[in-house]
Chains A and B, each alone.
Chain A
Amino acid sequence: KAGVTQTPRYLIKTRGQQVTLSCSPISGHRSVSWYQQTPGQGLQFLFEYFSETQRNKGNFPGRFSGRQFSNSRSEMNVSTLELGDSALYLCASSLGGAGPAYEQYFGPGTRLTVT
């Protein structure tokens, strides 16, 4: 079974631009979560989608947004990029659902550098 895939793996953008990152979950997984990892703040939760609905959102400004498609693939968008948005963005997938919390499986991440 293929793991979680993220594209692109590396991105360089300039301040003020916008960026879209993509995540394909493990086949059969319906929940996709996004995390930001920086040396100063560590790993922080951005948002989680299940069946195309955002179920939970972390404490990030509105410049960070996301969506999930009917095939469970997810995208996140960051508008008006700032230098502080430079980070490793990680996507995780799980079975999701209304039962107990399931194990999360992470992708390799997208390294975003804002200059």
Chain B
Amino acid sequence: KQEVTQIPAALSVPEGENLVLNCSFTDSAIYNLQWFRQDPGKGLTSLLLIQSSQREQTSGRLNASLDKSSGRSTLYIAASQPGDSATYLCAVCGGNMLTFGGGTRLMVKP
């Protein structure tokens, strides 16, 4: 059974810092990995999708890497802004379903 863990559970940083969110999974037989953002009480916004054959994906200030063999992914956020404050979730896709981590709650202080 796939298990996904995200560390840290919560993070508070001053504006402008570069930061790294971590995601680990137990079963390397995945099709892809997605990073999502969730604002309080809202749905999920897809940030980045990394196919199992890829090593990383970039979108603006976000960069996600994937190491399938070690069961790890990282989300790098450059020059953080208060608007980045949200919960970040990683999810691995094994077939037709996503298995989610518990999320990292990020607070970026002005």
Most buried by A among B93, B95, B98, B99: B98
Query: Do A106 and B36 touch (CB < 8 A)?
Result: yes
How many residues belonging to B are interface residues under a CB distance threshold of 8 Å?
24
Give residues 41-84 of A contacting B (CB, 8 Å): 42-45, 48, 50, 55-56, 58
B25 at the A/B interface (Cβ < 8 Å)? no
A96 to B12, CA, bound (A): 37
Query: Do A101 and B96 touch (CB < 8 A)?
Result: yes
A21 at the A/B interface (Cβ < 8 Å)? no
B71 at the A/B interface (Cβ < 8 Å)? no
Contact string against A for B residues 60-101, beta-carbon threshold 8 Å, 1 for contact and 0 otherwise: 000000000000000000000000000001010101111111
Closest to A33 in B: B97
Query: Do B95 and A56 touch (CB < 8 A)?
Result: yes
- Pick from B98, B102, B103: contact of A104, CB under 8 Å: B98
- Pick from B42, B51, B95, B102: contact of A108, CB under 8 Å: B42
Q: A106-B45, A108-B42 are in contact. List 18 more A-B contacts (CB 8 A).
A: A35-B100, A42-B103, A43-B98, A44-B100, A45-B99, A56-B95, A56-B97, A90-B44, A92-B44, A92-B98, A96-B96, A100-B31, A100-B32, A100-B51, A101-B96, A103-B32, A105-B46, A106-B46
